Structure 1
Amino acid sequence: MNSRHYAVRSTCTALLLFACLASLSVVASATTGERPATCATRGPASPGELHREWILVGWEKHRGDPPFDFRQRLGHLYHWNSDDVRLYDTFDPQHRVARSADEWASIWTEPFTTLREARHSVLDGPDVIDGGTLSASTLEFAARLETSAGEIIGNRARTSLVWECTPGGWKIVREHTSVRIVSREEIDTIVPHSDK
C-alpha cells in the first residue's frame, strides 16, 4: 500500500470514528436527559428569569396600553404544539383546565383587555428545580388589578410552571396558579400603582 492510499484510509477511519462518537454522544444525551445547548440554566433565558418575565412583563398592563394580545405578550413563553400542555389558575371563575396555549389565550384575552391596569410584584422566588429536559419553577406574586369600573382587586398568588426544553428554548407546558384575594390596604402597600 502506498503512502497516498494509507493517508486516505487513515482519514476515512478517523472520520468514521468521529461520526460514531458523535452518534454515541447524541444517544447518551437522549438517555441521560441532557438538554440541547439552546436551553439556558442561567441568565435571561433560564426558567427562573423567564418566570419573572412571565409575570412582570407578560401579564403587566398599564393605562393606555393597546388591547391585550396574549400571543404577542406571552406567546414566546408557551409551547404551542405540545399535547402535554395543562394550564390552570384558580382566578378563572369557571376553573377551566386549558389543554393548549390557544385555549389559554381564549380564556384570558377578554378579561385582560377590559382591565384598566394590572400591576405585579414578585414576593418570593423564583425557585427552580432543574430536571434536564424538564424544569420546574415556582414563585409568589401579588397583583393589583383595576377594572374598567375603577374597582381595585388585590390578590396574592403562588404559581408553579413546568418548562420543556425545546429547540427554541424553554417553553411552558404546565401551569398552576392558586390565588388569594387580599384587602385594598394590603395590595396598595406591596404593589406599586400609578396615580393617574
Structure 2
Amino acid sequence: MRPIHTSLLLAATLASLPLAAQANNETQSATCAASGPASPGELHREWIMVGWEKHRGDSFDFRERLGHLYHWDSSDVVLYDNYDPQHRVGRSASEWASLWTGPFNELREARHSVMDGPDVIDGGRLAASTLEFAARLETAQGEIIGNRARTSLVWECTSDGWKIVREHTSVRLVSREEIDAIVPHPNG
C-alpha cells in the first residue's frame, strides 16, 4: 500500500509543478544518486537526525544546518508543518528558514528518533520520501514536549544533487512517558 500512496504523491506533485519547471534543462541533464548517502532516503534521515537536532548550548542556524538540502532558487517550493501554531506555508527556503530559526533557537534541546522509513520512490527528476520520527523538545523553561510526526518530502534533482521543493509534516503530541521511552534524554 505504501508504494501506491507514494506513487500518487509523486504523480500529484509532478502535475502541480508548472510546465516551465518540468522542462528546466539544468534538472533534466542532472543525475542524482538513487542510493547511498546522497540519495533521497539518506538525505531525509540526515534532514531530521542532523539538521533538526539541537543540543544544549547549540545555536540553530537554518541555512548552516539545512541549507544544503533545500532548493533556494526554485519558485516551486511549498513547505508546511502543522506544528507551526499559525499554520503558515513557506513559499521559499528563505521564508521557511525565517519561520523556524527563532523558535528553534528558543529551545534548550531537540532530540529525534526515526520510527519508520524512510520510504522512497525515485522518479528520476523528482523523488518522494516519507518517514515517521519522534521529537523530544525541551523549552527554555525546562518543559518537555513530545511529539510524533510523519513527514513527506519531494526532492528535485538539480546539478547540485537532490534538493527539497515540497515538505509536509503532520505532528501529534505524545505524553512525557511515551517520548522518554522513544527518545530518552542522554543523561538519563
SS at match of 1:195: coil
Q: Is the CA contact 1:127–1:138 (under 8 Å) kept in the aligned structure 2? A: yes
1:111 aligns to what? 103
Count of matched residue positions in the alignment of Structure 1 and Structure 2: 164
The CA distance in 2 between the partners of 1:134 and 1:36, in whole Å, is: 11
Structure 1 alignment gaps of length 5 or more: 1-29
Instruction: Determine which structure has more spread, i.e. the larger CA radius of gyration.
Output: 1
The CA distance in 2 between the partners of 1:68 and 1:168, in whole Å, is: 24
2:63 aligns to what? 71
What is the correspondence of 1:131-142 to structure 2 with a 5 Å cutoff? 131-142=123-134
Q: Is the CA contact 1:79–1:85 (under 8 Å) kept in the aligned structure 2? A: yes
Letter in structure 2 aligned against 1:74: L
1:146 aligns to what? 138
The CA distance in 2 between the partners of 1:173 and 1:107, in whole Å, is: 16
Q: CA deviation at 1:36?
A: 2.4
Q: Which runs of 4+ in 1 moved over 2 A?
A: 33-37
Q: CA deviation at 1:35?
A: 6.0
2:116 matches 1:124: yes
2:30 matches 1:36: yes
Letter in structure 1 aligned against 2:41: G
TM-score, normalised relative to structure 2: 0.84
Equivalent of 1:47 in 40, 43, 49: 40
Letter in structure 2 aligned against 1:165: C
Q: Is the CA contact 1:35–1:133 (under 8 Å) kept in the aligned structure 2? A: no
Equivalent of 1:59 in 43, 52, 63: 52
Structure 2 alignment gaps of length 5 or more: 1-23
Q: CA deviation at 1:193?
A: 1.6
Q: CA deviation at 1:34?
A: 6.6
How many percent identity over aligned positions? 79
The CA distance in 2 between the partners of 1:79 and 1:159, in whole Å, is: 17
TM-score, normalised relative to structure 1: 0.81
The CA distance in 2 between the partners of 1:100 and 1:182, in whole Å, is: 30
